[in-house]
Chains A and B, each alone.
Chain A
Amino acid sequence: MSVNQQAHTGPPYGQPQPGYQGYQQPAYGGQSLPGVPQSQYGAYNGPMPGYQQPVPPQGYFPSLGFPSKGSPVSLNSDTSSLAPNFIGSLRAPPTSGAPPPASGASHPSGHLAYSQFEHGDVQNGIPASAAPMQRPPASQPFLPGSAPTPVSQISTFQQYGPPPASVQQLRNHMAGMTIGSTAASAPPPAGLGYGVGPSSYPPTTGAPRPPAMPGPPLPGQTVAGPPPSSQPNHVSSPPPPSSMAGLHPGPPMSGLHGPPPPTHPPQPGYQMQQNGSFGQMRGPQPNYGGAYPGAPNYGSPPGPPPPPKRLDPDSIPSPIQVIEDDRNNRGSEPFVTGVRGQVPPLVTTNFLVKDQGNASPRYIRCTSYNIPCTSDMAKQSQVPLAAVIKPLATLPPEETLPYLVDHGESGPVRCNRCKAYMCPFMQFIEGGRRFQCCFCSCVTEVPPHYFQHLDHTGKRVDFYDRPELSLGSYEFLATVDYCKNNKFPSPPAFIFMIDVSYNAVKSGLVRLICEELKSLLDYLPREGNMEESAIRVGFVTYNKVLHFYNVKSSLAQPQMMVVSDVADMFVPLLDGFLVNVNESRTVIASLLDQIPEMFADTRETETVFAPVIQAGLEALKAAECAGKLFIFHTSLPIAEAPGKLKNRDDRKLINTDKEKTLFQPQTSFYNNLAKDCVAQGCCVDLFLFPNQYLDVATLGVVPYQTGGSIYKYAYFQLETDQYRFLNDLRRDVQKEVGFDAVMRVRTSTGIRATDFFGAFYMSNTTDVEMAGLDCDKTITVEFKHDDKLSEDSGALLQCALLYTSCAGQRRLRIHNLSLNCCTQLADLYRNCETDTLINYLAKYAYRGVLSSPVKTVRDALINQCAQILACYRKNCASPSSAGQLILPECMKLLPVYLNCVLKSDVLQPGPEVTTDDRAYIRQLVTSMDVAETNVFFYPRLLPLTKADVDSDSLPAAIRNSEERLSKGDIYLLENGLNVFVWVGVSVQQGLIQNLFGVSSFSQISNALSTLPVMENPFSKKVRSIVDMIQGQRSRYMKLIIVKQEDKLEMLFKHFLVEDKSLSGGASYVDFLCHMHKEIRQLLS
Chain B
Amino acid sequence: MLLSSLEGALDQTSFIPPKSFCRAMATYLEFIQQNEERDGVRFSWNVWPSSRLEATRMVVPLACLLTPLKERLDLPPVQYEPVLCSRPTCKAVLNPLCQVDYRAKLWACNFCFQRNQFPPAYAGISEVNQPAELMPQFSTIEYIVQRGPQTPLIFLYVVDTCLEEEDLQALKESLQMSLSLLPPDALVGLITFGRMVQVHELSCEGISKSYVFRGTKDLAAKQIQDMLGLSRPAVPMQQGRPLQTPEQPVISSRFLQPVHKIDMNLTDLLGELQRDPWPVTQGKRPLRSTGVALSIAVGLLEGTFPNTGARIMLFTGGPPTQGPGMVVGDELKTPIRSWHDIEKDNARFMKKATKHYETLANRSAANGHCIDIYACALDQTGLLEMKCCANLTGGHMVMGDSFNTSLFKQTFQRVFSKGYNGEFRMAFGANLDVKTSRELKIAGAIGPCISLNAKGPCVSENELGIGGTSQWKICSLDPSTTLAIYFEVVNQHNAPIPQGGRGAVQFVTQYQHSSTQRRIRVTTIARNWADAQTQLQHIEAAFDQEAAAVLMARLGVYRAESEEGPDVLRWLDRQLIRLCQKFGQYNKDDPNSFRLSESFSLYPQFIFHLRRSPFLQVFNNSPDESSYYRHHFARQDLTQSLIMIQPILYAYSFHGPPEPVLLDSSSILPDRILLMDTFFQIVIYLGETIAQWQKAGYQDMPEYENFKHLLQAPLDDAQEILQTRFPMPRYIHTEHGGSQARFLLSKVNPSQTHNNLYAWGQESGAPILTDDVSLQVFMDHLKKLAVSSAS
Contacts and interface: CB of A to CB of B under 8 A. Distances in A.
A561 B211 contact: yes
B212 A548 contact: yes
A559 B219 contact: no
B214 A568 contact: yes
Contacts of B210: 559-562
B209 A565 contact: no
Contact of A594 (B206, B214, B219, B223): B206
Interface stretch (B1-9, B225-233, B576-584, B655-663): B225-233
A594 B207 contact: yes
B140 interface: no
B221 to A, nearest CB: 14
B190 to A, nearest CB: 13
B491 to A, nearest CB: 59
A420 to B, nearest CB: 41
A112 interface: no
Nearest to B206: A594
Interface string A553-567: 001011111111100
Contacts of A574: 277-279
A461 interface: no
Which secondary structure dominates where chain B touches chain A?
mixed
B48 interface: no
Interface residues of A, number: 23
B206 A570 contact: no
B213 interface: yes
Contacts of A591: 207
Contact of A557 (B206, B212, B223): B206
Nearest to A568: B217
Interface in B142-200: 196, 198
A559 B208 contact: yes
A557 B217 contact: no
A737 interface: no
Contact of B214 (A557, A559, A570, A575): A570
Contact of B277 (A557, A565, A575, A598): A575
Given A559-B210, A572-B212, A565 B219 contact: yes
A575 B272 CA distance: 14
A545 interface: yes
Contacts of B206: 557, 590, 594
B247 to A, nearest CB: 16
B208 A557 contact: yes
B198 A557 contact: no
B217 A565 contact: yes
A558 B272 CA distance: 12
Contacts of B211: 561-564
Contact of A559 (B207, B213, B217, B227): B207
- Which of B207, B209, B210: most chain A Cβ within 10 A? B207
A573 interface: yes
Interface string A516-539: 000000000000000000000000
A565 B212 CA distance: 8
Interface in B279-336: 279
Contact of B227 (A561, A564, A573, A590): A564
A564 B219 CA distance: 12
Nearest to A572: B212
A572 B208 contact: no
A545 B204 CA distance: 18
Contact of B226 (A548, A558, A564, A576): A564
Nearest to A575: B277
Contact of A598 (B207, B217, B223, B227): B207
Contacts of B223: 565
A564 B217 contact: no
Nearest to B213: A565
A562 B212 contact: yes
Contacts of A560: 204, 207-210
Contacts of B228: 564
Nearest to B212: A572
Q: Which of B204, B211, B219 has the most chain A CB atoms inside 10 A of its CB?
A: B211
A380 B210 CA distance: 67
Contact of A572 (B196, B201, B204, B227): B196
A576 B217 contact: no
A163 B99 CA distance: 126
Interface in B346-396: none
A562 B209 contact: yes
A1007 to B, nearest CB: 33
Interface string A572-583: 111110000000
Contact of A565 (B198, B214, B272, B279): B214
Contacts of B217: 565, 568
B207 A572 contact: no
Contacts of B277: 573-576
Contacts of B207: 557-560, 590-591, 594, 598
A564 B229 contact: yes
A573 B226 CA distance: 22
A514 to B, nearest CB: 13
A560 B209 CA distance: 4
A560 B203 CA distance: 13
A591 B206 CA distance: 9
Contacts of A568: 214, 217
9 contacts: A559-B210, A561-B209, A564-B213, A565-B217, A570-B214, A574-B277, A575-B277, A590-B206, A594-B207
Interface of A: 545, 548, 555, 557-565, 568, 570, 572-576, 590-591, 594, 598
The 3 closest A-B pairs by CB, nearest first: A564-B227, A572-B212, A575-B277
Given A573-B277, A590-B206, 15 more contacts: A545-B227, A560-B210, A562-B212, A563-B212, A564-B227, A564-B228, A565-B213, A565-B217, A568-B214, A573-B212, A574-B277, A574-B278, A574-B279, A576-B277, A594-B207
